[in-house]
Structure 1
Amino acid sequence: MLALAIAPAGAQTRPQVRDLGAEAPRSAIYIGNSFFYYNNSMHGHVNSMIRLAPPPAHAGFATSSVTISGSGLNWHDVESYFRPNALRSYSFDRQNNIVFNTNDRLYEIAIMMDCSQCPIHPRLSGLFAEYARKHSETVRRHGAQPVFFMSWAYADKPEMTQQLAEAYTVAGNANNALVIPAGLAFARAIAERPALNLYVADKRHPSLAGTYLAAATTYAALFGRSPEGNRHTAGLDADTAAFLQRTAWATVRDYYGERRAAAN
């Protein structure tokens, strides 16, 4: 019953890229909009999962998040994010001291998301394809790998799930890039637990549970490891956090199909 409920909400095209290679990434830049920065920023939750993951841990993971409210990919000047002595030139440690950094390589991956409707909007989908290509080329020119973040459907427009999944998968294949299937994780969670609200009142932006699910899916996709049992729960109750961790891992495994096996 569950498989029948979830199966239609997926991409028809299968992803060609299923992992980031043998070496786990050690740094990332998130390029997107408010879907990323809600709930004290999704990248912070991913970092907490990385820090609290069971061995082997991914120590020293460095991130930047560059977001513009309501933005599409064409709003971002990605070339400028890789300029020397700018982003990541200093950071703050756990004692709130400024640390000056020397970075031989700014980022190993760039996680990019378009506006929530842009990849499937009749007037904007062409810009999505164009800037997915342009930004992927820019990212690679600076020695990093492009990654696309598949966003979720609006709460009152579930038909967006399959449309977005297809658009992002096609873009990932066209640019030889990994796609993080967060939108499919939302659909799976809603199918299994419709009473668990993944949205705030506007029916677009994520609740804390929604951000946590997106972060767990991102962790699973980037590292090929299950987030199940991770001690970072973002303040959610244990049952909800465990359900979202399971949902993220099941979604990643289903979306990629055969990929490298990994324990949590």
Structure 2
Amino acid sequence: MKILLLFIASLLPYLIFSQTVRRVLFLGNSYTFVNDLPQLTANFSQAAGDSLIFDSNTPGGYSLQQHSVNQTTLTKIALGNWDFVVLQEQSQMPSFPLSQVLVEVFPYAKKLDSLIKAANPCTQTIFFMTWGRKNGDSYNCSSWPPVCTYLGMDSLLNLRYRIMADSNSAFVALVGATWHYLRDNYPSIELYDTDQSHPSAAGSYAAATTFYSIIFQKNPQLVHYDYSLNNANAQIIRNAAKLIAFDSLSKWNVGKYIPQSNFNYNVSNDTVYFNNSSIYASNYLWNFGDGDTSTAISPMHVYSTNALFKVKLISKKCGLMDSISKSINIVNSSIRENANSNFFTLYPNPTKDFFVIKSNKIIYKDDIEITIFDNMGREIYHNEAYKVEERIFTKEFLKGNYFVIIKSKSTIYHTRISVI
């Protein structure tokens, strides 16, 4: 018993935390490089029992435009093995006049995000929202007065990074917002280095706790890792990241881009035309409630019986899924429940090479139409029958189930045929 208890005790450090592993590529400049923000975030994550595997490219003063043609950046993106790629623009450019940002910033945010998604559609882009300089941007103040103060510059950075995220279906790492809260409520904590632009140790720690909240979607307040700070200041900063980031994840687009299923439909006699209005999904599975399914985006389906059918749509993307069900009532007086009626016989079923539709009455020209649909609702055969026995060859059909609709002037008959 003692041996068992000792064994369990030895496992406790590993059982307390449920480890999450995330792979992250950081692309930025000196704001990311100073104090080695990627490594600091990894250390913080490790203290929480999680694992951050990272790489970075952070040349000083670099812009997104420069990253978009930098071979090191492009090679790292092309690996495609990232859960997240972080994009940080040059520290001043997003706060410039909109006419300038529209030309020099937004197009390259779009270009890099497109490259990231091309390398791996499941990689999520994160835009690193930076902060206003301690006393505003004195260098550009005379030509662009809105950045003369911290508040003016910071508000423009906040707005422009959120535009970049929203227009590219990306997350925001709202570091600037965490800094803003700390400046307002704890001005004694110095977030800036002596240049009043780059982060101090406390400033980078605020960035790391914010990134942890966004990447792992976990509460940073529960993590006991103070970096080089005193415990009191570290707790204050962790609490700020919780209040600004973790408690408002949806505000920063976290959880927004998961699949959301929805559809509407139109019923025409026995046929239902589905319109898929799901968002943030790439694959679909329909269950029509009668045993048939489809993976088409917006299929058409023909029902062979009058009944109330529960139709379910499952939308999927990158291992995430959502579903919705709706009931559809089919009431069609022309439906006959199978083709083996007093008028028609269909055989063999299942079939491999062909099947025969045999009429049990005299057929006159234009009396009968035969249409066959696959299980995605696509018409693959249509012909008029002039003979008592109509042979339909199925050698070119894929294996699966098909709908056969036989129309006369007075009645519609439905059945299914299986090709094996």
User: Is 1:115 the counterpart of 2:90 in the alignment?
Assistant: yes
Q: Which runs of 4+ in 1 moved over 4 A?
A: 257-260
Q: Pick one of 131, 137, 160 that aligns with 1:152.
A: 131
Which amino acid in the other structure matches residue 57 of structure 2?
V
**Gapped regions of structure 2 (runs ≥ 5):** 1-19, 137-149, 256-420
Gap change, CA 1:215 and 1:38, over 3 Å in 2: same
User: Where is the helix percentage greater, Structure 1 or Structure 2?
Assistant: 1
Structure 1 counterpart of 2:53: 62
- Residue by residue over 1:30-57, the C-alpha shift from the partner in whole angstroms, topping out at 9 and shown as x without a partner, is 0000000111x1011110111110xxx3
Q: Which amino acid is 2:250 matched to?
A: Y
Determine the structure 2 residue equivalent to 1:30. Answer: 26
2:239 to 229, 233, 246: 246
TM-score normalised according to structure 2 size: 0.48
Which of 190, 199, 202 is equivalent to 2:195?
202
Of the two, which has the highest radius of gyration?
Answer: 2
User: 1:141-197, CA deviations, whole angstroms, 9 ceiling, x for partnerless residues?
Assistant: 111221100001111022222111110111101000001110010000010111211
- In 2, Cα distance between the equivalents of 1:183 and 1:227? 17
Aligned to 1:26, the other structure's residue is in SS state: strand
- Note closer, same or farther for the CA distance 1:148–1:104 as it changes in structure 2 (3 Å cut): closer
The 1:132–1:160 alpha-carbon spacing in structure 2 relative to 1, beyond 3 Å, is: same
In 1, distance between residues paired with 2:21 and 2:73? 18
> Residues of 1 paired with 2:54 and 2:176: CA distance?
22
User: Which among 205, 217, 229 is matched to residue 222 of structure 2?
Assistant: 229
The answer to whether the 8 A contact 1:181-1:255 is kept is: no
| Alignment-derived partner of residue 182 in structure 2 | 189
Asked if the contact 2:21–2:53 (Cα under 8 Å) also holds between the matched residues in 1, the reply is: no
User: How many angstroms does 1:106 deviate by?
Assistant: 2.9
TM-score (norm 1): 0.75
Cα deviation for residue 255 of structure 1 reads 6.5
SS in 1 for 2:126: strand
Return the offset for 1:135. 0.2
Residue 256 (structure 1) aligned to one of 250, 261, 267: 250
Contact 1:186–1:198 (Cα < 8 Å) also in 2: yes
Q: In structure 2, what is the Cα distance between the partners aligned to 1:50 and 1:78?
A: 29
**Is contact 2:24–2:55 with CA below 8 Å preserved after alignment?**
yes
**Is the Cα contact below 8 Å between 1:229 and 1:242 reproduced in 2?**
no
Deviation at 1:25, TM superposition (A): 6.2
Q: How many residues align?
A: 215
Contact 1:165 1:183 in 2 (8 A): yes
Indicate the structure with greater strand content.
Answer: 2
Aligned mates of 1:186, 1:65 — CA distance in 2: 23
Percent of aligned pairs sharing the same letter: 23
